[in-house]
Structure 1
Amino acid sequence: MDEQFKKRLVGSLIFISLAIIFFPLVFDGNEKDRTRFNDEMPDPPEIRLGLQSMENVKKKIVEMEKSSARRVPEEVVDENDYSKKANFRLDENNLPVNWSLQIGSFQKEQNAVGLRARLREQNFRSYILSGRSSTGDWYRVFVGPLSDRSALMEMKGEIEKTFGLKGNIVRHRVEQDADLFGG
């Protein structure tokens, strides 16, 4: 072997052995970091269980009922039995059969909101359904829903006279209520 190569080989072996010895000393961190993590668990806190009399517990319950009664609104119960009405029907999915009058379909939201506002000024219960198609967003204005189709026919004539708008009577679907825009 070449003499120079032997010297380089011995020098590199000495350098590697020194690196193995001093590397853990240099990169091990300081003493504070090693002692900072203590594996001792503290003693559990003392818990004193005090016995409470039933009278105190009953008083607290009454106080809690009074305070919660102030915050919860009183439930309004409708006593009318709507199932006996002649025009009340359910479809094959046990959903009520209702009808709506579609008055207009718009691409601009402001137009639909404006028509709905005009209808509400004349005391027509109206709502907007929004959707998306390949041509863009659309907003449909409806009046209703009513369970009596003949009443909706009368309303259609009234709207035609008042606003000059012809509408289509369509079946109101309960599952579409998720798309209602602005109630």
Structure 2
Amino acid sequence: MAVIVLPMLMDGSTEDRARVMASIPEAPDIDVKKLSVKDLRLKMERMERASATQLPLEVVDESTYAAGADFTLDKNSLPVSWSLQLGSFRNRVNAIKLRARLRDAEHRSYILYEKTSKGETYRVFVGPMVKKSALQALQGKIETSLKLKGQIVRYRVEDDAGQLGG
């Protein structure tokens, strides 16, 4: 019997329930015809242009850095790093095969894609490393173990936009 009577006593009166229902605000009236995707795009473009003007300008740093210095910063306050370029291919598949071969030998490697007037180029690198001397030692190991000759080049973070994933 208590199971039937107690819920009626605990729920409150019907007036209380009506008051709770009445306090919910009405849904806002939105005129969908006035909303425009074009307006949103224009607003987003304005916001992107405004934020782009606040970015610092990139300083082109063509300086050559001594091999003895283990850690230096360039003009953009980024660490000067080095990579070992081991191949340059027009065929994407060949670049991916070389990268896989390097990764199988447990070397950190990546591919940079570049579109030139002569066509597409895929360059395969090992690195980057902050210590050029460590990369030179690694270059010798790669030459003996994988029979690949490479060239040490300056690593630039800015070039990562052309990095081929995978």
Equivalent-residue separation in structure 2 for 1:107 and 1:162 (angstroms):
25
Partner amino acid, structure 2, of 1:90 = L
Partner amino acid, structure 1, of 2:23 = R
Partner of 1:181: 164
- Cα–Cα, structure 1 residues 142 and 49, in superposed 2: closer, same or farther, change >3 Å? same
Q: Of residues 48, 60, 67 in structure 1, which corresponds to 2:23?
A: 48
Equivalent-residue separation in structure 2 for 1:151 and 1:47 (angstroms):
74
Q: Report the alpha carbon displacement of residue 88 of structure 1 after superposing the two structures with TM.
A: 2.5
Partner of 2:149: 166
Structure 2 length normalisation: TM-score? 0.58
**Deviation >4 Å, runs of 4+:** none
Residue 140 (structure 2) pairs with residue 157 (structure 1): yes
Equivalent-residue separation in structure 2 for 1:117 and 1:157 (angstroms):
19
Matches within 5 A, 1:107-126: 107-126=90-109
Aligned residues: 103
The SS at the match of 1:140 is: strand
Q: Report the alpha carbon displacement of residue 165 of structure 1 after superposing the two structures with TM.
A: 1.3
Structure 1 length normalisation: TM-score? 0.53
Equivalent-residue separation in structure 2 for 1:155 and 1:47 (angstroms):
75
Equivalent-residue separation in structure 1 for 2:141 and 2:113 (angstroms):
25
The SS at the match of 2:135 is: helix
Equivalent-residue separation in structure 1 for 2:137 and 2:156 (angstroms):
21
The structure having more radius of gyration, on CA atoms, is 1
Q: Report the alpha carbon displacement of residue 133 of structure 1 after superposing the two structures with TM.
A: 1.0
Percent identity of equivalent pairs: 54
As a proportion of its length, which structure holds more helix? 1
Q: What 5-or-longer segments of structure 1 have no aligned partner?
A: 1-45, 51-85
Equivalent-residue separation in structure 1 for 2:23 and 2:87 (angstroms):
71
Q: CA RMSD in A?
A: 1.9
Partner amino acid, structure 2, of 1:95 = L
- Cα–Cα, structure 1 residues 175 and 47, in superposed 2: closer, same or farther, change >3 Å? farther
Partner of 1:72: none
Q: What 5-or-longer segments of structure 2 have no aligned partner?
A: 1-20, 26-68
